Amino acid sequence: MSGLAWIMMATVATLACALVLSAATAGVVALLFGISSRLFGNGTDQ
């Protein structure tokens, strides 16, 4: 049972790490895209 528990814990930790990393990457890409579009775009600020 301990081996299965270790495998489940490792799987959950890996999935959580991948989810956090993908979310952080998407946030950084969106932030950079927004900054670049604001700098190099037409700059219609409301």
pLDDT tens, position by position, 1-46: 688 999 999 999 999 999 999 999 999 999 999 998 888 776 565 5
Label each residue of the chain as H, E or C.
CHHHHHHHHHHHHHHHHHHHHHHHHHHHHHHHHHHHHHHHCCCCCC
Rounded CA separation 32/17 (Å): 22
pLDDT of residue 45: 58
pLDDT of residue 26: 97
* Full-model pTM: 0.60
CA distances 18 to 13, 21, 24, 30, Å, are 9, 5, 10, 18
